Amino acid sequence: MQKYDPIAEYTDVTPTAQIRPVTHGWRAKCLQRLVRLDLPVPRTVALPAGTVKAIASGLTVDCHGILSHFGADPLISVRPSPENPDWGGPATVLNIGMNAARHALLVKTHGNDAADALYLRFVQSYAIHVARLDPDMFEGAQPSAQALRDALRAYADEMDEPFPEDPARQLAEVLRSMARAWEGTSARLLRQAKGAGPEAGLGLVVQQMAQGIGQGISGSGVMQFVDPVTGHPQVTGRYLGQSQGRDALRRQGAIYLTRDPRGPSLEDLAPEIFADLVNHGTACRARLREEMQIEFTIEDGRLAVLDAVKVQRSSRAALKIAVALADDGIISRAEALLRVEPRALSELLHNQVDPRGPRDRFVKAIAASPGAATGRIVFSSAAAQASAARGEPCILVKRETAPEDIRGMHSAAGVLTERGGVTSHAAVIARGLGLPCVVGASDLRLDAREKKLTAPDGRTFREGDIITVDGTAGEALAGVADLLPPALDDTFRRLLSWADDVRDIGVRANADTPADAQTARDFEAQGIGLCRTEHMFFDEDRLVVMREMIFADTAKDRAAALVRLLPMQRDDFVQLFDIMRGLPVCIRLLDPPLHEFLPHSREGLRELAEALDKPLSDVTRRAEALAEFNPMLGMRGVRLGIVLPEIYDMQAQAIFEATIEIARRGATVVPEIMIPLVSAKREVELVKTRIDAVAAKVRTKSGMDFDYKLGVMVETPRAALRAGEIAQHAAFLSFGTNDLTQMTYGLSRDDAGRFMNTYVQQGVFPEDPFHVLDVDGVGELLHIGAGRGRATRGDLTLSICGEHGGHPESIAFCRKAGFDYVSCSPYRVPLARLAAAHLALTDRVEDEMK
């Protein structure tokens, strides 16, 4: 009856056969391409996923039919061929067809040793992978006649039957076990984690064995044409005489491929074969449009190419390879862009822990700022500064950092904090500075007084001990780690300039200092989208004046302190405008509660009392009076501007005078002034009136005219809801999604790190909303704000400047919502430029397919 007929659906891999990756898998398709290139590929038969699925469900395949493709005494291998190489698959089985008769034949052609070695290898892999016997019984035996006899006996004892002699039965069992392995739960979970769908099938590839064992030059090897870590063109790989499969990478005795002073090479041994291999590699690269690793064998001087797989590569190598393929005209620039993962770029901007080196991790926490640095532990900002003064790199380890640690952070090579999340102070500042940073390491026990750090495994570290912070992985490592330097070379820049040619949303940087602005320019940001001016007041000389201003008893005293701050602020803005050379600069007026500028220790308060020439009790009382229960919801942002308007007046004057200074130097700048933490239209009216008045005064005094734009930072839910009326007085709205997330959820951005893991693990939040924009909730507010704002003012500029601005998902959201630009930490600018290009390119492809 028809239904008992063995399945006969398989295909000879010829240049014209119908082979498709979705049915036969990537390997079968790749082998067909190699065949079309006329490469010496041994005869191959491909089983489609439908056939393999049927085998797994118990049907039999026509093994005699398959074997008939391989001559009278077939010796074959079976390899997995899923649609995507990343989806894994069962282990390859070599030498199917070995039995006593085949062994006798091999003895004649290849000698006893070779015949024993091949037979033993087959018995071992059949016993382990097909019969699923205990690997300990079969692994590790050195090939010999005795080892072969032992293995055959062990098999017969365990299975209660002799080792199968019939090649058709051997093949049927191999196919069945590989088909079943694919259906197993762990294999399914593994491939689904790599993006495979629930229905993803497995193709199988049956191939004539090319021996690699013989009398003349015989062996096997693996060859590729780029360095997998750097991506530089370079023949890499190994060759091992009298071997099979990937032995050359695993076993002792392998030799180099190219001529090498360190030892013998294939190029010396067989220069013609080596030259053929290089030619095959070049053809593969051009036709498969990819850097491939070639698996080859040589049998009595005859070369065979068995397989080609995409070269495994680091992020930096991926970028180099994509750009080189585009430069050689093999792929388009658009394709090169799409082949580089935006997130991988941030790895190229900083030192990275070399994946090839050892790593001794003592804690895992939140990866707050990428890169890696090694240094001696310090437990205070003062110690960090002292260490920097001695020229010794240090890692600042603190419970958490505060604005007064800014100088300590500048002095440190890396930062590790016990508390905090991705938008806490340490994280935001470290990203801005490009410092590797790990936060929220709550498994650590930190004793700042004893200057001692205890790891979860009980190890203790003291001040001066050397550790490495890996901010990319979110780990701290004991001791020194091997580091790879950044890869900001010409290749990197060219890829990003291609990205700029296609993207359709602007990218600016959040930059507070001239150094940040310079980084922003180096990464080719299109301006500054957020300059947090408070960071300009934390330098020691300014902090004293700032504190005098805060402690002023009268408006007159306050004015006197502000007059001293004015030229400092003006210089800051002149420098920023100068560095940005005509690109837009958006300056946010003072935002944090004044209490943040005060010392937090008794010692600090005493020093302040001395500096202000006031009794300590006075200073302490005033500091206590400024403290608030909920400072993040207290007197900060525009509320300061309304209650103490002189501060914003001074800042506006400094901005306008800097604008004039730049104009005198022959350049033009149109500053953008942004009001933080707005929640009501009236706040904007009040501030605008005063700023307009300051502008008028500066114009009159200088006799020069200038333009400026006034905008609002939307970071309270009410500002988003009332954006329609707020936009009457605003040329732009910039969404501060850090505070907006904090206030929408009612979730402290500085404390959420403590329970965020639990929340994410239990599926309460799909992701940390401070990290990945919550498009459902906060996103809805963004939509409402943007829509209502634009309804009032069609030319309203819209942007995002929270930490989300640099994330591909948020960029996609903002682009769809019609935003003009995103603004992110300078070090995320390259990633944002590439992510924006990906979005534009994918849209283009989708449009073309409609």
Give the SS3 label for residue 287: helix
Q: Which is nearer to ligand PEP, 297 or 737 (CB)?
A: 737
Q: Which of 48, 245, 671, 802 binds ligand PEP (CB under 6 A)?
A: 802
**CA–CA gap between residue 838 and residue 499 (Å, rounded):** 8
**CA–CA gap between residue 359 and residue 482 (Å, rounded):** 9
Residue with tokens 């306008």: 656
Residue 737 interface partner, choices Mg ion, ligand PEP, none, CB cut-off 5-8 Å depending on type: ligand PEP
Min dist. Cβ of residue 810 to ligand PEP (A): 11
The answer to the question of residue 736 lying near ligand PEP (CB under 6 A) is yes
CB 130, CB 138: distance < 8 Å: no
Min dist. Cβ of residue 676 to Mg ion (A): 6
Taking phi over 0 as left and psi of -120 to 50 as alpha, with beta for the rest, 474 belongs to: left
The answer to the question of residue 533 lying near ligand PEP (CB under 6 A) is no
Number of residue whose CB is nearest ligand PEP: 736
**Helix, strand, coil share (%) of the chain residues, nearest 5:** 50, 20, 35
Residue 810 interface partner, choices Mg ion, ligand PEP, none, CB cut-off 5-8 Å depending on type: none
**CA–CA gap between residue 597 and residue 590 (Å, rounded):** 12
CB 403, CB 425: distance < 8 Å: yes
Tokens linked to 645: 């308007």
- Applying CB under 6 A, the span of 116-124, 198-206, 341-349, 733-741 interacting with ligand PEP comes to 733-741
Residue 58 belongs to what H/E stretch? none
**CA–CA gap between residue 779 and residue 579 (Å, rounded):** 34
Residue 801 annotated in active site: yes
Number of residue whose CB is nearest Mg ion: 739
Q: Which of 167, 736, 753, 830 binds Mg ion (CB under 5 A)?
A: 736
Q: Which is nearer to ligand PEP, 422 or 583 (CB)?
A: 422
The answer to the question of residue 739 lying near ligand PEP (CB under 6 A) is yes
Q: Is 479 known as a binding-site position? A: no
For Cα atoms 658, 506, 850, give the angle at the middle one, nearest 5 degrees: 165
Q: Is 9 known as a binding-site position? A: no
Q: Is 739 known as a binding-site position? A: yes
Residue 800 interface partner, choices Mg ion, ligand PEP, none, CB cut-off 5-8 Å depending on type: none
Residue 82 belongs to what H/E stretch? strand 76-82
**CA–CA gap between residue 175 and residue 76 (Å, rounded):** 12
Q: Which is nearer to ligand PEP, 352 or 738 (CB)?
A: 738
Q: Which is nearer to Mg ion, 672 or 715 (CB)?
A: 715
Q: Which of 425, 804, 807, 838 is catalytic?
A: 425
Min dist. Cβ of residue 801 to ligand PEP (A): 5
Q: Which is nearer to ligand PEP, 422 or 530 (CB)?
A: 530
**Length of the chain (residues):** 850
Q: Which of 106, 801, 811, 839 binds ligand PEP (CB under 6 A)?
A: 801
Q: Which of 801, 807, 814, 824 is catalytic?
A: 801
Min dist. Cβ of residue 680 to Mg ion (A): 17
Min dist. Cβ of residue 534 to ligand PEP (A): 8
**CA–CA gap between residue 297 and residue 167 (Å, rounded):** 23
Residue 532 interface partner, choices Mg ion, ligand PEP, none, CB cut-off 5-8 Å depending on type: ligand PEP
Q: Which of 307, 739, 768, 774 binds Mg ion (CB under 5 A)?
A: 739
In angstroms and rounded to an integer, the radius of gyration of the C-alpha atoms of the chain is 34
The answer to the question of residue 744 lying near ligand PEP (CB under 6 A) is no
**Cα-Cα-Cα-Cα dihedral of 8, 13, 16, 19, to 10°?**
70
Torsion sign across C-alpha atoms 544, 550, 553, 559:
positive
- Applying CB under 5 A, the span of 137-145, 521-529, 656-664, 708-716 interacting with Mg ion comes to 708-716
Residue 824 annotated in active site: no
**CA–CA gap between residue 430 and residue 31 (Å, rounded):** 48
Tokens linked to 464: 């001066």
Q: Where are the beta strands (DSSP E) in 219-301?
A: 219-226, 233-241, 292-299
Q: Which is nearer to ligand PEP, 333 or 419 (CB)?
A: 419
CB 537, CB 591: distance < 8 Å: no
Q: Which is nearer to ligand PEP, 79 or 532 (CB)?
A: 532
Q: Is 375 known as a binding-site position? A: no
Catalytic residues, by residue number, are 425, 801
**Residues comprising the binding site for Mg(2+)?**
715, 739
Interface with Mg ion (CB under 5 A)? 715, 736, 739
Interface with ligand PEP (CB under 6 A)? 530, 532, 591, 715, 736-739, 801-802
